């Protein structure tokens, strides 16, 4: 009887020790995560704070909060909108981003389905070419791409969509292929027995199953296309009406290096609002889609 009581006391002590260790570990993890939140959110707060300060005060004390002397209200926002044509740029950014993401998802998902289901040397080579394109630096193909875009008359929004399809297809095909490998073949075979051809099987069976990965691909590509500066600047340039948001913000930098920091900060705040809202609305699907597309199969 005494042995049983002693054993129960020992077990209780062990459980209490383990519980305290878990609690301590959870507290440490919570503190680390809070620190990371501050680190990641501070640049955004820095931009928001300085968007309400006079441009001269931003240079003098950029980390200080606005005071009665430095606060200028919405002046920076008004100046930025007047100098940049921001709303026109936002319209073109929306057009290019939405169409590019839709085209990327449509074509790369079909490509991944074909590569995954049709086993041959050609499809294997094609798959590894897509994977290889993920590691090729943009700077390596920058000048040939600009020359090709000029030759094919791609210096317009539709041409930008075609270029984004080329640059965004590598990661998208890789993720879609990984997810499609996890889809049981029996589902597709049952659809074909019911009279579906390959296209009907894809659109009615496979594509709805690809929803988690499709949302992840959409988020990653939308954030990339919306924030991209170099490709629109090189292809579209500053002299056309098709300028995107990053390009018009850069126009606030003068020819002598002078820049209206207040207006730039204000326009950056307006630029990040749509993509942050889109990300927050869809972020719960990111981990699910990344894990499904990169691990399964």
Query: Is pLDDT of 5 > 60?
Result: no
Any idea where the domains of the chain sit in the sequence?
A: 2-50, 75-294
Instruction: Check whether 46 has a pLDDT greater than 90.
Output: no
In this model, does residue 263 exceed pLDDT 70?
yes
Residue 93 confidence (pLDDT): 93
3-state secondary structure of 30: helix
Q: What number is the average pLDDT over the span 121-146? A: 87
Q: CATH fold of 75-294, please?
A: MetI-like fold (1.10.3720)
**Structure tokens that stand for 219 in this block:** 């988020």
Inform me whether the pLDDT recorded for 20 exceeds 90.
no
Contact 70, 53 (CB under 8 A): yes
* Whole-number Å distance between alpha carbons of 40 and 75: 27
Q: Residue 297: pLDDT band by 50, 70, 90 thresholds?
A: very low
For the residues 158-181, what does the mean pLDDT come to? 90
Q: Where are the alpha helices (DSSP H) in 195-294?
A: 198-201, 207-209, 211-227, 230-235, 245-250, 261-282, 286-294
Report, as an integer, the average pLDDT of 164-192: 87
Quote the pTM value: 0.81
Pairwise pLDDT comparison (1 vs 262), residue with the higher score:
262
Structure confidence at residue 161 (pLDDT): 93
Per residue in 203-212, pLDDT tens? 888 888 888 8
- Across the chain, what does the average pLDDT equal? 82
pLDDT number for residue 91: 92
pLDDT tens per residue, range 232-262: 988 887 777 888 999 888 888 765 667 778 8
Mean pLDDT, residues 119-140 taken together:
87
pLDDT at 9 over 80: no
According to DSSP, residue 198 is labeled H
Q: Which residues contact 237 (CB under 8 A, 6 or more apart)?
A: 155
pLDDT at 107 over 50: yes
> Percent of the chain beyond pLDDT 70?
87
pLDDT at 2 over 70: no
**Once rounded to an integer, what is the mean pLDDT over residues 22-43?**
84
pLDDT higher for 139 or 177?
A: 177
How far does Cα 230 stand from its chain's mean position?
A: 16
pLDDT of residue 162: 92
Is the predicted pLDDT of residue 96 greater than 90, yes or no? yes
């Amino acid at each position: 009887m005494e042995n049983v009581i002693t054993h129960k006391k020992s077990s209780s002590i062990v459980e209490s020790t383990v519980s305290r260790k878990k609690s301590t570990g959870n507290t440490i993890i919570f503190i680390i995560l809070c620190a990371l939140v501050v680190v990641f959110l501070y640049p955004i707060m820095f931009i928001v704070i300085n968007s309400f300060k006079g441009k001269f005060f931003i240079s003098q004390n950029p980390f200080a909060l606005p005071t009665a002397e430095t606060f200028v209200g919405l002046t920076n926002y008004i100046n930025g909108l007047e100098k940049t044509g921001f709303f026109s740029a936002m319209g073109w950014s929306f057009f290019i981003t939405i169409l590019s993401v839709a085209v990327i998802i449509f074509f790369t998902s079909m490509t991944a389905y074909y590569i995954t289901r049709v086993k041959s040397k050609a499809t294997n080579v094609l798959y590894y070419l897509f994977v290889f394109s993920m590691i090729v630096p943009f700077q390596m193909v920058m000048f040939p791409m600009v020359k090709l875009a000029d030759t094919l008359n791609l210096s317009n929004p539709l041409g930008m969509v075609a270029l984004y399809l080329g640059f965004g297809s590598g990661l998208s095909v890789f993720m879609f292929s990984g997810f499609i490998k996890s889809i049981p073949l029996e589902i597709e075979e049952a659809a074909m027995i019911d009279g579906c051809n390959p296209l009907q099987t894809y659109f009615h069976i496979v594509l709805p199953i690809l929803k988690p990965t499709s949302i992840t691909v959409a988020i990653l590509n939308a954030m990339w296309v919306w924030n991209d500066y170099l490709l629109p600047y090189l292809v579209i340039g500053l002299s056309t009406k098709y300028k995107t948001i990053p390009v018009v913000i850069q126009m606030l930098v003068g020819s002598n290096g002078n820049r209206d920091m207040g207006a730039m900060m204000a326009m950056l705040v307006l630029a990040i609002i749509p993509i942050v809202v889109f990300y927050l609305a869809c972020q719960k699907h990111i981990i699910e889609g990344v894990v499904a597309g990169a691990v399964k199969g």
